Amino acid sequence: MTPDAEPLLVAEHVSVSFSRKRLFGRGPAVRAVQDVSLRIGRGEAVGIVGESGSGKSTLGRLLLGLIKPASGEVRFDGSALQSLSRRDWRALRQRMQIVFQAPYGSLDPRRRIGSQIGDGLAIHRLAAPGQMPEAVRALLEQVGLDASHADRFPHEFSGGQRQRIGIARALASRPDFLVADEPVSSLDVSIQAQILDLLDRLRRELGLALVLISHDLAVVRHLCDRVVVMYLGRVMEEGPARSVLDAPRHPYTRALVSATPRIGAGGRPARILLPGEPPSPSAPPTGCVFRTRCSFAIAACGEAVPPLTQTNHDHGVACIRLADLP
């Protein structure tokens, strides 16, 4: 990627909120994602981490264009997703795909897996009907499954195998951008490593740009070049995965890293316990959304949303007290 060429995917100041429909009017708006900007280069792997309610899954769907942002813009390879014609939008779908959390509803229980994997080929006419079985077999082998299993139904597979099927389905249309939403969080440890291995290998072989949404910092650190840390719909910290996760700057990232249990006793900073609970996303605090649980918060933190300040090497931190932190 040349420095001035536009990255594969650019999100600029995207926000979206949801509200439940009631009999009269609507319920309080849940601000799922607020003013997030992001750039993802070709072949780059970006991790989005955060706890439940941080808006990381919503952000993933925004990037894919499956949810329309209330404000802001998402551009894929130069074209803005929300202003595309229906036809161009469909054509673009070939290039951006999604992998879901494994066993839950990610596969249609009533269709053979071969036919589900073939959807991408059929919709975008990437294989003639006669070549379809051959193409599906190749995809199955690519993700490490037995090519003869194309005629089976999803319930005949284990969790890890289903995740491989989900990956094969996403790869069928030969995308160059893939969002993986908690791809291993419901799998056993020994199977997790298998799937992570597969994702890593495919990404390198196919030159995929990958967005990995996860609550597991170690997984993101292992697989991703860059990481975005979210809290209550906003970006707290962003930068190269190792520099953010090994030397976190933002108070929230520090607490998150310190709370992650580790096997070896050494190397982990003293645990920072966050007091209380995350506030409701329908009534986030003013200014910095993290200030209500931050031990460094001062009055000024409530006045304005802190901008993402670049420190060094592409590493941004949204904290006005950055200079005063120990």
Nearer to another protein, 108 or 151 (CB): 108
Q: Compute the least distance from the CB of residue 4 to another protein, in Å.
A: 31
- Per CB under 8 A, residues contacting another protein are 22-24, 27, 51-52, 64, 66, 89-94, 96-98, 100-101, 104-111, 116, 119-120, 123-124, 158, 160, 166, 169-170, 173, 188-194, 196-197, 215, 218-219, 221-222, 255-256, 258-265, 267, 271, 273-274, 276-277
Q: How far is the CB of 178 from another protein (least distance, A)?
A: 10
CB of 182 to another protein, least distance (A): 11
Q: Which CB atom, from 13 or from 271, has the smaller least distance to another protein? A: 271
Q: How far apart are CA 164 and CA 11, in angstroms?
A: 29
Tell me how far, at minimum, the Cβ of 96 lies from another protein, in Å: 7
- 49 within 8 A of 15, measured Cβ to Cβ: no
**Pairwise CA distance, residues 232 & 125, whole Å:** 41
Q: Minimum Å distance from CB 2 to another protein?
A: 30
35 or 119: CB nearest another protein = 119
Least distance CB 270 / another protein (angstroms): 12
User: Which CB, 3 or 264, lies closer to another protein?
Assistant: 264
d(CA 237, CA 116): 38
Select 83 or 310, whichever has its Cβ closest to another protein.
83
Q: Which is nearer to another protein, 265 or 299 (CB)?
A: 265
Distance, CA of 67 to CA of 145 (rounded, Å): 32
CB atoms within 10 A of CB 170: 23
Tokens 């997790």 locate to 192
88 vs 314, beta carbon nearer another protein: 88
* Displacement of CA 262 from its chain's centroid (Å): 23
Say which amino acid occupies 235. V
Whole-number minimum distance, CB 205 to another protein, in Å?
Answer: 17
